[in-house]
């Protein structure tokens, strides 16, 4: 295995200075990203251009000396490769066309998405070449429920109540969709690993607010299925699960034998996570990304809380969700320096 502090931590090692990376660490808050994004023309052209996408992946590593890079791509590339055309309207978020129907879904099951997504694996290869041996490369995919919400809605942020209601009234269709996505996601992640990803993360941004046992059916089980499926063919690959907003149900993920690490969101009490999640999985993240906008003492005080609580267990420093575009890059540098210095004391 590559000798990186990020991978050692995922393997259960405790270190004085935790490895550090950030969700959305490449993106609009960085001027060098905005420049390449303008050069590419659109977000989609950027994602499918391995030269530019690998450069964007490496930008935050150069600027902040982080321990892991995350592939620059998007969770909605799977629906795009399946045949729902993805575009990003300025200021409106993602648009997927056509909206998904049971008839369209039938054609998705046996689709080969890996050919369309070949440029993404090329980005992984190129990034790996440009990355120091001590840095890890994280591959990722959306968890089936979150990807399904966008597919059913035709893009944009889903209305959680409307989707929950659809789950109850159209359960066979939605279960079939989740199942189809889980199968394709295994292939997609394995291809990322074969191209050079050292670990993979599953994002379930819209897991929040689902009652049990719906959460179990649409999020916990499918994530477990994907992690087990990936490990079956590429044993030893660490899997990080980020089920956002699930509260105490995070234990249901952390206790899965397929779950190596669990990402905690900004609303979770870190002391609760230390007590209930750390015995089962490596904990990652938690810091409120909005603290990054002001930076300074309040941000550092919160960072210190995480460092103190998790000092005696394996812990990966990160946010409780991605950076917002308003984040001043200087505050990121201030935070990274703080974590590096505090950890040493």
Binding site for ligand CP3 (CB under 6 A): 23-28, 37, 43, 70, 72-76, 88, 93-94, 140, 142, 146, 203, 205, 322
- Whether 62 sits among the annotated catalytic residues: the reply is no
Beta bridge partners of 240: 201, 261
In 3D space, the residue among 206, 216, 212 whose CA is nearest the CA of residue 152 turns out to be 206
Strand partners of residue 69: 137
Say how far apart CA 258 and CA 261 lie, in whole Å.
Answer: 9
Residues 315 and 9 sit within 8 Å (Cβ to Cβ) = yes
22/167 with CB nearer ligand CP3: 22
**Among 29, 33, 37, 204, the one annotated catalytic:** 37
For residue 307, the minimal CB distance to ligand CP3 (Å) is 22
Selecting among 28, 63, 164, 234, the annotated active-site residue is: 28
The nearest distance, CB 172 to ligand CP3, in angstroms, is 25
Give which of 258, 243, 84, 86 is closest to 177, Cα–Cα: 84
Separation of alpha carbons 314 and 299, rounded Å: 22
Residue of 150, 188, 253, 266 with catalytic role: 150
User: Active-site residue 74, yes or no?
Assistant: yes
Q: Among residues 88 and 272, whose Cβ is nearest to ligand CP3? A: 88
What distance in Å separates the CA atoms of residue 61 and residue 337, rounded to the nearest whole number?
14
What number of other Cβ atoms are within 10 A of residue 110's Cβ?
8
What is the biggest distance separating any 2 CA atoms in the chain, rounded to whole angstroms? Answer: 60
Q: How far is the CB of 151 from ligand CP3 (least distance, A)?
A: 12
All residues at 6 or more sequence positions from 241 whose CB lies less than 8 Å from its CB, including other chains: 143, 201, 202, 204, 223, 227, 253, 256, 259, 261, 262, 263
- Comparing CA positions, the residue from 9, 69, 11, 23 lying closest to residue 286 is 23
Residue 66: CB minimum distance to ligand CP3, A: 11
24 is catalytic: yes
In whole angstroms, how close is the CB of 209 to ligand CP3 at the nearest point? 14
76 or 287: CB nearest ligand CP3: 76
Nearest to 203 by CA among 28, 321, 26: 321
Cα separation, 299 vs 119, whole angstroms? 38
234 included as an active-site residue? no
Q: How many Å apart are CA 69 and CA 334, to the nearest integer?
A: 19
Catalytic site includes residue 29: no
How far apart are CB 16 and ligand CP3 at their closest, in Å?
Answer: 26
Which is the catalytic residue, given 8, 29, 33, 74? 74
Assign residue 13 a region (left: φ > 0; alpha: ψ between -120 and 50; beta: otherwise). beta
Nearer to ligand CP3, 63 or 276 (CB): 63
Q: Which residues are catalytic?
A: 24, 28, 37, 74, 150
């Amino acid at each position: 295995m590559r000798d990186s502090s990020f991978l050692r931590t995922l393997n259960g090692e405790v270190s004085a200075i935790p490895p550090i990376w950030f969700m959305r660490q490449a993106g609009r808050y960085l001027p060098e990203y905005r420049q390449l994004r303008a050069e590419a023309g659109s977000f989609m052209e950027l994602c499918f251009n391995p030269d530019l996408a690998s450069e964007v992946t490496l930008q935050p590593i150069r600027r902040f000396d982080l321990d892991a890079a995350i592939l620059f791509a998007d969770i909605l590339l799977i629906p795009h490769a399946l045949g729902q055309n993805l575009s990003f309207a300025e200021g409106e978020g993602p648009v997927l066309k056509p909206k998904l129907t049971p008839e369209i879904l039938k054609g998705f099951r046996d689709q080969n998405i890996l050919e369309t997504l070949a440029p993404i694996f090329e980005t992984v290869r190129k990034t790996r070449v440009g990355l120091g041996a001590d840095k890890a490369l994280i591959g990722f995919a959306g968890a089936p429920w979150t990807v399904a919400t966008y597919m059913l809605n035709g893009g944009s942020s889903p209305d959680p109540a409307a989707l929950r209601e659809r789950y109850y009234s159209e359960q066979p269709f939605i279960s079939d969709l989740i199942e189809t996505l889980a199968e394709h996601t295994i292939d997609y992640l394995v291809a990322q690993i074969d191209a050079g990803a050292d670990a993979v993360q599953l994002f379930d941004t819209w897991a929040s607010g689902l009652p049990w046992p719906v959460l179990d059916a649409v999020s916990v089980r499918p994530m477990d299925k994907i992690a087990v499926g990936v490990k079956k063919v590429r044993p030893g690959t660490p899997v990080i699960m980020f089920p956002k907003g699930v509260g105490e149900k995070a234990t249901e993920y952390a206790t899965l034998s397929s779950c190596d690490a669990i990402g905690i969101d900004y609303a979770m009490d870190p002391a609760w996570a230390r007590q209930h999640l750390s015995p089962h999985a490596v904990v990652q993240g938690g810091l409120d990304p909005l603290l990054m906008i002001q930076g300074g003492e309040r941000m550092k005080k919160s960072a210190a809380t995480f460092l103190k609580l998790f000092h005696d267990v394996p812990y990966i420093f990160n946010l409780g969700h991605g950076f917002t575009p308003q984040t001043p890059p200087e505050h990121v540098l201030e935070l990274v320096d703080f974590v590096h210095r505090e950890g040493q004391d």
